[in-house]
Amino acid sequence: MTVKVSLPFDKDYVTQFSQGLNEPDWMKTLRLNAFDKAESLEMPKPDKTNIKDWNFTEFKHHAEGEKIESIHDLPFELLNLLDHEKEQQNLIIQRNHTVAFSSFDKKLEEQGVIFTDIQSAIRNHGDLVEKYYMTDAVHVDEHRLTALHAALMNGGVFVYVPKNVNISEPLQTIFWQEDPEAALINHVLVVAEENSSVTYVENYTSNNKDVKSSANNVTEVIAKAGAKVSFGAVDNFEAGTTVYTNRRGLAERDATIEWALGQMNEGDTVSENITHLLGDNSHSNAKTVAIGRGTQKQNFTANITHFGKGSDGYILQHGVMRDKSSGIFNGIGKIEHGASKSNAEQESRVLMLSKDARGDANPILLIDEDDVTAGHAASVGRVDPMQLYYLMSRGISKFEAERLIIHGFLAPVVNQLPVEAVKQQMKQLIERKVY
């Protein structure tokens, strides 16, 4: 027996929503086709986590956000995400589903760099967006959630870096779900043309401890030959939000994609982070750290698939699980036939802070080529008593020793976040969630 799950919105709604945004026909058609598929496609099946009953369909789909005249009007916790020493040159704050604040360095604009909300990009740079939007990286019909995403996408940003342009200052976005009922279906599209480079960092935050909502977010990063994209994120949705997040990268010849993902959500979360090393000598470094607490269930997959010769992939996943939370960490290094001289390394470690917590580290190497190197390390365990002994033997209390060890364990992502304020905020989040 198949249970038909009814969708909360119908085709008329999708049509009206698209028209209300003045979207071009291609986008409206993409949404409507996706809507049809969402009805028939299956839910994704993350390994060892049953998400059948998770809420991805009941939510408020659209909420306006008030404009912010000055950054100083931001609430304290958002103000904390910004480096105050520097003027925020490249910043977009999305409040609910509309842009509340944006600023962008004129010089970059003159060089042809695009950094704008996704709706403006669809209207003003339609050809570019159409070329990359759910075409090569994430596909509409992968499963029900990707189709739902495409049908109901209601926020996001577009980053475009022209050939040979290197951006030294990071581009920062804050996605602020102020309305507790509003769901975020966010699409982040980053395209870096040949030999360009960009650092992007995003923060997600919501206000719904008790009110149920959901997030269904897709990120696509396209790094053309010789391009370098450093992507940092701190996801911090409140407990009421059930999260599906799919971040995918395509790296062409000699391109590099670096991920530093701080997965600090309070609610149930499925996160996929897949990078395809398409070109020869492409490179990816995918780091994720996560904390689970309460009865939270989380499933993380980091996958680097090698197609290009001499491609190099390194996955790091570190999770801390406390209370009755559960965290599954799947690390997949896949080397396709022909990707000779490639190297696939991964490390997944889970630190258990309570006997009722559950942690799984599943290292998987799938190798279809002889002339390669690969390695994995995985562990699930408690704080090492020898490390505690060592620190305590210098007079450090047990509490402080554990604190140092846990912060150290989560440091690989913290240290890689590009904006100092975001780094500090991540440290505070760790502090708050672990103690």
Partner 1 sequence: MAGSTLEIKDLHVEIEGQEILKGVNLTVNGGEFHAVMGPNGTGKSTLASAVMGHPKYEVTQGQVFLDGENVLEMEVDERAQAGLFLAMQYPSEISGVTNSDFLRSSINARREEGDEISLMKFIKEMDEAMDTLDMDKNMAQRYLNEGFSGGEKKRNEILQLMMIKPAIAILDEIDSGLDIDALKVVAKGINEMRNENFGCLTITHYQRLLNYITPDKVHVMMQGRIVKTGGPELAQRLEAEGYDWIKQELGIEDETIGQKA
Q: Does 398 bind partner 1 (CB under 8 A)?
A: yes
Number of residues that bind partner 1 (CB under 8 A): 24
Q: Which is nearer to partner 1, 162 or 412 (CB)?
A: 412
Q: Does 390 bind partner 1 (CB under 8 A)?
A: yes
Q: Which is nearer to partner 1, 190 or 414 (CB)?
A: 414
Q: Which is nearer to partner 1, 20 or 395 (CB)?
A: 395
Q: Which stretch binds partner 1 (CB under 8 A): 27-35, 162-170, 307-315, 397-405?
A: 397-405
Q: Does 20 bind partner 1 (CB under 8 A)?
A: no
Q: Which stretch binds partner 1 (CB under 8 A): 224-232, 236-244, 323-331, 387-395?
A: 387-395
Contacts of 340 by beta carbon, 8 Å cutoff, 6+ apart: 309, 310, 369, 370, 371, 372
Q: Does 392 bind partner 1 (CB under 8 A)?
A: yes
**Whose structure tokens read 């440290």?**
427
Residue 12: helix, strand or coil by DSSP?
helix
Q: Which is nearer to partner 1, 179 or 402 (CB)?
A: 402
Q: Does 410 bind partner 1 (CB under 8 A)?
A: yes
What per-residue string of b and e applies to 287-318 under the rule 16 or more CB within 10 Å gives b? bbbbbbbeebbbbbbbbbbbbbbbbbbbbbbb
Residue type at position 18:
S
Q: Does 320 bind partner 1 (CB under 8 A)?
A: no
Helix (H) or strand (E) run with residue 152 in it: helix 144-152
Site string (328-367) toward partner 1, x via CB under 8 A: ----------------------------------------
Q: How far is the CB of 430 from partner 1 (least distance, A)?
A: 11
Q: Does 396 bind partner 1 (CB under 8 A)?
A: yes
Q: Which is nearer to partner 1, 126 or 412 (CB)?
A: 412
Phi, psi of 244 (to 5 degrees): -115, 125
Residue 96 Cα to chain centre, angstroms: 18
Q: How far is the CB of 410 from partner 1 (least distance, A)?
A: 7
Q: Does 1 bind partner 1 (CB under 8 A)?
A: no
Q: How far is the CB of 394 from partner 1 (least distance, A)?
A: 4
Q: Which stretch binds partner 1 (CB under 8 A): 148-156, 293-301, 363-371, 390-398?
A: 390-398
Using CB under 8 A, pick the residue from 407, 418, 424, 429 that binds partner 1. Answer: 407
Q: Does 394 bind partner 1 (CB under 8 A)?
A: yes
435, with CB counted inside 10 A (0-12, 13-18, 19+), is: exposed
* Residue 89, token pair as written in the block: 């040159």
Going edge to edge, which strands form the sheet with 326-335? 114-117, 155-161, 186-192, 213-223, 241-251, 269-277, 297-306, 326-335, 358-367
Using CB under 8 A, pick the residue from 141, 387, 433, 434 that binds partner 1. Answer: 387
Q: Does 434 bind partner 1 (CB under 8 A)?
A: no
Residue 100: helix, strand or coil by DSSP?
strand
Q: Which is nearer to partner 1, 368 or 400 (CB)?
A: 400
Q: Does 426 bind partner 1 (CB under 8 A)?
A: no
Phi, psi of 225 (to 5 degrees): -50, 125
DSSP 50-62: --TTS-SS-SB--
Phi, psi of 311 (to 5 degrees): -80, 150
Residue 422 Cα to chain centre, angstroms: 15
Using CB under 8 A, pick the residue from 5, 166, 389, 432 that binds partner 1. Answer: 389
Q: How far is the CB of 433 from partner 1 (least distance, A)?
A: 17
**Interstrand relation of 269-277 and 297-306 (parallel, antiparallel or unpaired):** parallel
Helix axes 398-414, 420-434, angle to 10 degrees: 140
Q: Which is nearer to partner 1, 120 or 387 (CB)?
A: 387
Q: How far is the CB of 398 from partner 1 (least distance, A)?
A: 7
Using CB under 8 A, pick the residue from 400, 420, 428, 432 that binds partner 1. Answer: 400
Euclidean distance between CA atoms 256 and 192, whole angstroms = 10
Euclidean distance between CA atoms 427 and 413, whole angstroms = 10
Note the residues at the interface with partner 1 (CB under 8 A).
Answer: 384-387, 389-398, 400-401, 404-405, 407-412
